[in-house]
Amino acid sequence: MGGSRRPRIGISACFFHPDNERLVFKGKTLLYVEQSMVNWVQSGGAVAYLIPTADPASPVTVADYVDDLDGLLLHGGADVCPRSYGEEPLRPEWEGDEIRDRYEIELVQAFHAAGKPVLGICRGAQIMNVAFGGTLYQDILEQTDTERVHRSQELYDHNLHHVDVVEGSGLAKLYPEATTVKVNSVHHQAVKEVGAGLTIEARSSDDGIIEAIRLTTDGTDGTPAGYAFAVQWHPEFFKGVDDGTMLDNDPILREFLAQTATETTQQPAEA
């Protein structure tokens, strides 16, 4: 690479679709990233980039972004559209964002095919699962027996609960002293049927909802897979939320960045 440099991490965009009622950028598509996600990536010494959509009318393709970047981080945000995993929305408000789904699934598949690491956060865990052929609960309160509220508009990122780490999993190796940990929770969809090659690494302690998944084989012949890992919680919301008992998410970021193919000048992640 001609010398060491910081890893370049592409963050998938959130979408504001055209809205003629919006006062600014009326009728235009906006792509954005939440600032704390960028700050979390930067805390590990990496440089964060928002990955825009590739205009079909231009010569630029997704492959160009894959070539320039060292890893992909899948951002949280809007619901995954049930049609992206072969279902119809049970309610209009669960329609999700099918346009963003297609964009992110293409990114997952392209980065994975190039042997570059993928990390998913919240919606990112769900879209990763779908990209590997899995399905989702459209709404966990409606479709499971859980009594836990995993998304509270009032508490939002302060909605805390415990998850159990699967013994012997990659996540357990990152936290060898922890079997149950406290995380935040801002979701109403969740992984249902796990995608090909993915393994469950954590579940919500009181209702069994899947909270972490990892690609362990390629899903076809059992050969070792590239790095793809995802959590349902929000590591980037740790600062300002931690009550002194929450999981320290720095090992997750460090593991992801360690998978990048370049020599790096990573700085110690801050608590």
Q: State yes or no: is 234 an active-site residue.
A: yes
CA distance 87 to 82: 5
Closest CA to 136 of 190, 79, 74, 212: 190
Closest CA to 230 of 102, 132, 106: 132
**Cβ neighbour number for residue 174 with a 10 Å cutoff:** 18
Contacting residues for 267 by C-beta, under 8 A, at least 6 apart: 44, 45
CA dihedral 168, 174, 179, 184 (to 10 degrees): -130
**Residue 74: burial class (beta carbons within 10 Å; 0-12, 13-18, 19+):** buried
Which residue among 122, 150, 161, 187 is the active-site one?
122
CA distance 96 to 139: 12
CA distance 77 to 97: 10
DSSP, res 131: H
DSSP, res 224: B
- Residue 250 and residue 39 in contact, taking contact as beta carbons nearer than 8 Å: no
- Residue 19 and residue 27 in contact, taking contact as beta carbons nearer than 8 Å: yes
CA distance 28 to 40: 29
- Residue positions annotated with a catalytic role: 122, 234, 236
